[in-house]
C-alpha cells in the first residue's frame, strides 16, 4: 500500500462529492434541501474534526456501518449474512439496546463520523434504535431495509427526522427482485416508493449487482423508473459469493469496469440521483477502505468488525469507547500488514483473505 497516500483527504473528498450530489438531487424539495444545507455545514465541521485528529496521528473514518439487529423476516437467495450465521429468524438474546446504540451514535458525532449506515438483519424491526438515530441530525443515517416493515408510523418518523433515509433493496424488475427476495416483495417496494414520494420524503435504492442483473439494473429504463418514483440515491453493492455454487454470480473485472463507466456516465447525465458503488474502484484509494480506513462495522452484539463481509472481532463497544475500538489490534494489524492492498480476485479484499484475517485472531 502507498504510505504517501492521504486517506483522510481521499475520504473527505468522497464525502463532499456525495453531499454535493444529494444537494443537487433534492433542490426541488424545500424541506429536504433545507435539511441538507444544514447537514452540509455539519459535514464540513466533522471533516475538520477528522483532519485535526489525522494531523495528531489518529485516523477517524467518515463512515460507520451498524447492524442493529440480527433478525430478518426474509430468506434472500445467496445472502452472505445468513450464510455466515450473522442473520437469523428470531431475535437473539444480548443484542445491543437502544440506549447502548444511542451512546455509540453520540460518540460517533463527537469524533466527526458523518454517515452511519443502519443495517441488519432487517433494521426496521428495531424502531427504538431508529428513533434514537433521529436524535442526531449531524449524522445522516441511510437505513438499508427490505421494505416490508414500512408503515404510517415510520412515514411520520421520516418526516420528523430528515436525517433518516430509507434505502430499499431491489434487484431490478419484478421477476428479478421476487426471484431473489420472495414473491410479492417487489410490489410492496413499489407501493412504499409511491407513498414516500406522495409524502415528499426522500429515499434510495440498494441493488446487489450480479452477473445476471448488471445490465438490467444499470439500464436507463430501470433507473428512470426509480427516478420517476422519487428515488434520490442508488447504491450498487457487488455480490460477494459465500458458497462455491454462487461464485458465477460475482462480478468480475469486465463487469466492474463496465459498472464503473456507467456510474461515471450517470453522474454526469443524471444528477437528479446520487450513484454510489461498493466496494467500487478501490485502486484509487490505495486499497480496501474497511477496518477503519474509510469505515468499519459494528454487529448487533457490539463487536467491532472490519467489514460486514469480514465478521471477525477482537473488541466490543459495550466494553470500550468507539475511539478505542478504532485502535483494536485486529484493525491495526490489517492496516499495517498489507491485508487491505488491492491485489485480489473479487470485489472484496477481506473476503478473499478471510482465512488470513481469522488467523490474526488466533495469534
Band of residue 286 on the pLDDT scale cut at 50, 70, 90: low
Give the model confidence (pLDDT) of 185-221 as tens digits.
999 999 999 999 999 999 999 999 999 999 999 999 9
Residue 223 pLDDT class (50, 70, 90 cuts): very high
Q: What per-residue confidence (pLDDT) applies to 80?
A: 76
Which superfamily is assigned to 7-361 in CATH?
Answer: Aldolase class I (3.20.20.70)
Indicate the domain borders of the chain: 7-361
> Comparing 98 with 344, which gets the higher pLDDT?
98
Q: Identify the pLDDT of residue 1.
A: 40
Can you tell me the distance from the alpha carbon of 323 to that of 303, in angstroms, rounded to the nearest whole number?
14
Mean pLDDT is lowest, of 169-173, 178-182, 238-242, for 238-242
8 A C-beta contact, residue 205 and residue 168: yes
Residue whose grid cell is 427490505: 146
Q: Quote the pTM value.
A: 0.92
Residues 73-86 have a mean pLDDT of: 81
- The reported pLDDT for the residue numbered 285 is 54
Write down the pLDDT at residue 342. 57
Please tell me the predicted confidence (pLDDT) of residue 245.
73
- Residue 122 · residue 167 · CB < 8 Å: no
Higher pLDDT, 348 or 59: 59
Place of cell 445472502: 79
Mean local confidence (pLDDT), 33-38: 91
pLDDT at 135 over 90: yes
Question: Average pLDDT, stretch 65-78?
Answer: 91
**pLDDT the model gives residue 337:** 83
Coil vs helix vs strand at 275: strand
Per-residue pLDDT of 47-62, as tens digits, reads 999 999 999 999 999 9
Q: pLDDT value at position 2?
A: 43
Is the pLDDT confidence value at 283 over 80?
no
Q: What one-character-per-residue DSSP string does 293-359 give? A: TS--EE-TTSBEESBTTB---S-BTTTS-HHHHTT-HHHHHHHHTTTTSS--SSS-HHHHTHHHHHH
Within 13 Å and on the Cβ side, how many CA atoms surround 72?
24
Which has the higher per-residue pLDDT, 63 or 288? 63
Give the contacts of 288 (CB within 8 A, at least 6 positions apart): 279, 282, 307, 340, 341, 342, 348, 349, 350
pLDDT of residue 3: 46
Amino acid at each position: 500500500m502507498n504510505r504517501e497516500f492521504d486517506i483522510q483527504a481521499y475520504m473527505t473528498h468522497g464525502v463532499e462529492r456525495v453531499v454535493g450530489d444529494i444537494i443537487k438531487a433534492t433542490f426541488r424539495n424545500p424541506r429536504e434541501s433545507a435539511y441538507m444545507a444544514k447537514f452540509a455545514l455539519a459535514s464540513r465541521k466533522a471533516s475538520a474534526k477528522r483532519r485535526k485528529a489525522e494531523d495528531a496521528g489518529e485516523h477517524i473514518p467518515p463512515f460507520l456501518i451498524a447492524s442493529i439487529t440480527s433478525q430478518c423476516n426474509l430468506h434472500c437467495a445467496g445472502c452472505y449474512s445468513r450464510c455466515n450465521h450473522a442473520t437469523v429468524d428470531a431475535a437473539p438474546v444480548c443484542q445491543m439496546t437502544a440506549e447502548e446504540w444511542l451512546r455509540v451514535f453520540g460518540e460517533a458525532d463527537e469524533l466527526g463520523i458523518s454517515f452511519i449506515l443502519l443495517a441488519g438483519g432487517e433494521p426496521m424491526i428495531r424502531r427504538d434504535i431508529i428513533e434514537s438515530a433521529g436524535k442526531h441530525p449531524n449524522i445522516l443515517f441511510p437505513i438499508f431495509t427490505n421494505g416490508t416493515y414500512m408503515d404510517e408510523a415510520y412515514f411520520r418518523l421520516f418526516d420528523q427526522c430528515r436525517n433518516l433515509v430509507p434505502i430499499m433493496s431491489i434487484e431490478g424488475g419484478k421477476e428479478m427482485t421476487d426471484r431473489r427476495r420472495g414473491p410479492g416483495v417487489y410490489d410492496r417496494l413499489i407501493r412504499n416508493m409511491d407513498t414516500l414520494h406522495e409524502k415528499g420524503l426522500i429515499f434510495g435504492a440498494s441493488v446487489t449487482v450480479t452477473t445476471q442483473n448488471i445490465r438490467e439494473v444499470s439500464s436507463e429504463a430501470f433507473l428512470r423508473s426509480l427516478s420517476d418514483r422519487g428515488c434520490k440515491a442508488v447504491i450498487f453493492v457487488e455480490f460477494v459469493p459465500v458458497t462455491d455454487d454462487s461464485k458465477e454470480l460475482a462480478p468480475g473485472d469486465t463487469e466492474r469496469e463496465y459498472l464503473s463507466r456507467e456510474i461515471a456516465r450517470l453522474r454526469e447525465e443524471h444528477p437528479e440521483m446520487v450513484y454510489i458503488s461498493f466496494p467500487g474502484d478501490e485502486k484509487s484509494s490505495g486499497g480496501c477502505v474497511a477496518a477503519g480506513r474509510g469505515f468499519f462495522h459494528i454487529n448487533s452484539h457490539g463487536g467491532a468488525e472490519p467489514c460486514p463481509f469480514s465478521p471477525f472481532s477482537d473488541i466490543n463497544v459495550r466494553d470500550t469507547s468507539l475511539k478505542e475500538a478504532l485502535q483494536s489490534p485486529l484493525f491495526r494489524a490489517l492496516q499495517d500488514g498489507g491485508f487491505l492492498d488491492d491485489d485480489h480476485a473479487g470485489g472484496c479484499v477481506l473476503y478473499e483473505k478471510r482465512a488470513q484475517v481469522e488467523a490474526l485472531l488466533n495469534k
